[in-house]
Amino acid sequence: MDIAILKRVQERNDTDASDIRRLLDSRGIRMVNVMGGAGSGKTSLLERLMLQFGRELRCGVLEGDITTDYDALRIAALGVPVAQLQTEGSCHLDAALVHRGLGVLPLSDLDIIFVENVGNLVCPAQFDIGEHIRIAVLSVMEGDDKPAKYPLMFSRATIAVLSKCDLIDHTDFDISAASRFIRTVNASAPIIETGIGLPGDAELAHWLAGRPNEDEDEIRERFATTA
């Protein structure tokens, strides 16, 4: 006997993600999902953003890692509230795990929460974790073809960050090629070049501080699951 179902595979995760967004919205907190390959510079970017924000925005961080807490310790050293999410082997964060992490942060003292996802270009992009803004980080060490090889992450990004641009002269990375690949799947995300000593950090901080949160409808559209 055939049974018609027609249910989204990620329905449960998406419901959890919407619950998180509702919780954060009710407290006026925005959440940023920072995704990118292993070693692309996600934690370093967060460290530099924390310094950029200073007292202007009260930040909290959730650090997703498979087992260690090295990244959480780096953030804690800056005096920023941080909770560690250990995925225990899983290649991505999901909304349920993030929800637990939020329970550990002092939400009443925060304006913005950064979630550093597990370092890889494929899996994290599959899951809505209740964020308002998604940053896809690609370092110039990884090659300018990566947005073409891993399009989902870049197609869903609210901002694309090209990181370690201070090192670009030592690589064959072509910014216009990378940008074209990103534009192919994402018409609107700003593409920001960051790196030690470059103005991109300030630009990104400014963008994050000023941007109104996308509402649930806009986010659903970005995640549109009907082709």
Partner 1 sequence: MHEFSLAHSILEIVLDSARQNRATRVRTVDCRIGAMRQIVPSYLSTAFEACSQQSLAEGADLIVDTVPARLDCQACSHSGDMTEITFQCPSCGSTRIELRGGTTMDVTSITIDQEESNGHRHLEESAGAQRY
Ligand X SMILES: Nc1nc2c(ncn2[C@@H]2O[C@H](COP(=O)(O)OP(=O)(O)OP(=O)(O)O)[C@@H](O)[C@H]2O)c(=O)[nH]1
Residue 195, binding choice from ligand X, partner 1, Mg ion, none, Cβ under 5 to 8 Å by partner class: ligand X
* Closer residue to ligand X, CB minimum distance, 14 or 41: 41
Instruction: Quote the longest CA-to-CA distance of the chain.
Output: 65
Question: Which has the closest alpha carbon to 20: 101, 99, 113, 111?
Answer: 99
Residue 196, binding choice from Mg ion, ligand X, partner 1, none, Cβ under 5 to 8 Å by partner class: ligand X
Binding site for partner 1 (CB under 8 A): 1-13, 90-92, 94, 122-123, 126-127, 148, 150-152, 155, 180-181, 184-185, 187, 223-227
Question: What does the alpha-carbon distance between residue 147 and residue 6 come to, in Å, rounded to a whole number?
Answer: 31
Q: Rule CB under 5 A: say whether 139 interacts with Mg ion.
A: no
Nearest residue to ligand X by CB is 119
Nearest residue to Mg ion by CB is 43
* Closer residue to partner 1, CB minimum distance, 103 or 227: 227
Burial of 185 (0-12, 13-18, 19+ CB in 10 A): middle
Asked if 127 and 12 count as a contact pair (C-beta separation under 8 A), the reply is: no
- Name which of residues 40 to 79 contact Mg ion (CB under 5 A): 42-43, 71
Question: What does the alpha-carbon distance between residue 141 and residue 162 come to, in Å, rounded to a whole number?
Answer: 10
Binding residues (CB under 5 A) for Mg ion: these are 42-43, 71
